[in-house]
Amino acid sequence: MSNRVAPPRRGAAPGGLAVGVLAALRRTGGLWFGWSGNAAGEGERAPEIVARDGIRYATIDLCAEDIERYYNGYCNASLWPLFHYFPGRFAYDEENFQAYQRVNARFATELLKLLRPGDLVWVHDYHLMPLARILRDRGFSGPIGFFLHIPFPHAQVLRVLPNHETLMRDLCCYDLVGLQTRDDVQSFVSAVRLAFGGAVRCDDGRLDVGGRRVSVGTYPIGVDVDAIRQEAARTVQEETVQRLIASLLGRRLIIGVDRLDYSKGLIQRFAAYEHFLEHDPESHGRVTLLQIAPLSRTDVLAYTEIRRALEQATGKLNGRLAAADWTPVRYLNRNYSHATLMGFLRAAHVALITPVRDGMNLVAKEYVAAQDPDDPGVLVLSSLAGAAHELTGALLANPYDRRGIAEALRAALHMPLAERRERHREMAEVLRRNDIHRWSERFCHDLQAAGAYGPPAAA
């Protein structure tokens, strides 16, 4: 279960959630259920089901009002900013919350018609937190797990949300709650304690709360290391990537690949890059930053504002520092295929991945996997990304620290080959130990075990 379902299309660049869901389903078969992304016509229609490569994709349409209130409203104006520690961007409307509950109830109704005996249900992300409670109320007794792809905020941040107790009680209806990092687990436990007071016992990853036993664990999502490495090695030779390389005229390439979102720290990144150029005049004409930022949620005001701010920052930086034969920043609001992006990552000498808050950030992991181990690039990574807990071979910096980012860039561009190889080897080993297949296998195994613990704990 996820908010959106997109059957694979040739050339499409899947997001982290889609990569993870497909990795699990390709191993076991099954059903992927969610919203089609389309607005419904008159009346509610049964799910549209498409079968492909052993997987069934079931999608429903939502009416225009529910799209506005459930998705743009509660999910992206209330939950997204708060879970990413942006209370200043948080907004709340009770009607939006009711739409959130209504859409989750609709999902549950349609899903129950398609479930088979012995199924376990794996629910993904913040759009669908109430789903387990609704399925339980309607009689489903099989294992239900929840994985959150974004950060989980500490109780002192979450309490800004008027109905946070309701959501925490909903989350405690799952058998297993999976989160990206240990920090997220600690924040989750703090929020459970806030919602339930003293009636919470925590022991070895299990919470006895509200009459139920809930398992909570850290499951950092990975990538398909071998597939990315092969794809990157192949596509770096293709025309689009070779044109990029030729256009650099021997300059070093710094790359950023991010969905256009205020959580990705793009404004801070451009400011840090400008600071680097201002204080390292020898780099002028020798480096180029390629920032790829596909548009997202274009009907939400905050995203229109971030796009305008980045366009202004790009124009200002290039206007001040560019030469007749050199443009410091190439800023692109467009999508590329996953294969082409992997070729771009392999060609880059430095990846600049500096979100101001991120649950994981798979681009950082993809960059490491895409590198030539004999001549790898250097990853400059935000210390506030979930990936920083694993990729300790990266150059870590606070995304709000312009000087720190600039110093990391300078170190990355001048790093000796032996150090680059050692840092890359260390990170590649981490990625292999917890690749996308291991991630999905661990979660499904633990969910099956959590569902078999027996009757709920005593209240």
Is 316 or 452 the better-scoring residue by pLDDT? 316
CA distance 230 to 370: 8
Active site residue 279: no
Q: Look at residue 319 and tell me whether its pLDDT is greater than 60.
A: yes
Question: Domain for residue 6, yes or no?
Answer: no
Answer yes or no: do 256 and 268 share one domain: yes
Determine the pLDDT at residue 454.
41
In a domain, 177, yes or no: yes
Is 11 a residue whose pLDDT tops 70?
no
Indicate if the pLDDT at residue 224 is higher than 70: yes
Q: Which residues contact 82 (CB under 8 A, 6 or more apart)?
A: 90, 153, 157, 158, 160, 161
The H helix count followed by the E strand count for the chain is 17, 15
Residue at 10 is within a domain: no
Q: Which domain holds residue 259?
A: 225-433
**Residue type at 351?**
A
Choose among 190, 49, 154: nearest CA to 111.
Answer: 49
User: Rounded to the nearest 5 degrees, what angle is found at the Cα of 421, between the Cα atoms of 420 and 425?
Assistant: 120
Both 184 and 285 in one domain: the answer is no
| Of 358, 424, 435, 446, catalytic | 358
Task: Establish whether 149 is a catalytic residue.
Answer: yes
pLDDT class of 14 with cuts at 50, 70, 90: low
In a shared domain, residues 110 and 195 = yes
| Confidence (pLDDT) at 457 | 42
Tokens of 104: 């989750």
AA identity, residue 49: I
Residues 238 and 316 in one domain: yes
One domain for residues 335 and 441: no
Q: Is residue 331 located within the same domain as residue 386? A: yes
> Which residue matches tokens 């082409």?
340
- pLDDT score of 42: 66
By C-alpha distance, which of 348, 393, 132 is closest to 253? 348
* Cβ contact 297:77 at 8 Å: no
Helix ranges, 124-176 (H): 131-137, 155-158, 164-171
Is residue 240 domain-shared with residue 295, that is, in the same domain?
yes
Enumerate the β-bridge partners of residue 201: 208
Number of folded domains that form the chain: 2
Instruction: Tell me if 3 is assigned to some domain.
Output: no
Residue 353 forms part of a structural domain? yes
Q: How many CA atoms lie within 13 A of 126 on its CB side?
A: 22
CATH number of the domain encompassing residue 99: 3.40.50.2000
Rounded Cα gap, residues 425 and 423, in angstroms = 6
237 and 346 fall within a common domain: yes
Residue 260 domain flag? yes
- What per-residue confidence (pLDDT) applies to 125? 96
**Furthest-apart CA pair in the chain: how many Å?**
74
| Catalytic residue of the set 127, 149, 164, 424 | 149
Q: What is the pLDDT of residues 107-163, one digit of tens each?
A: 999 999 999 989 999 999 999 999 999 999 999 999 999 999 999 999 999 999 999
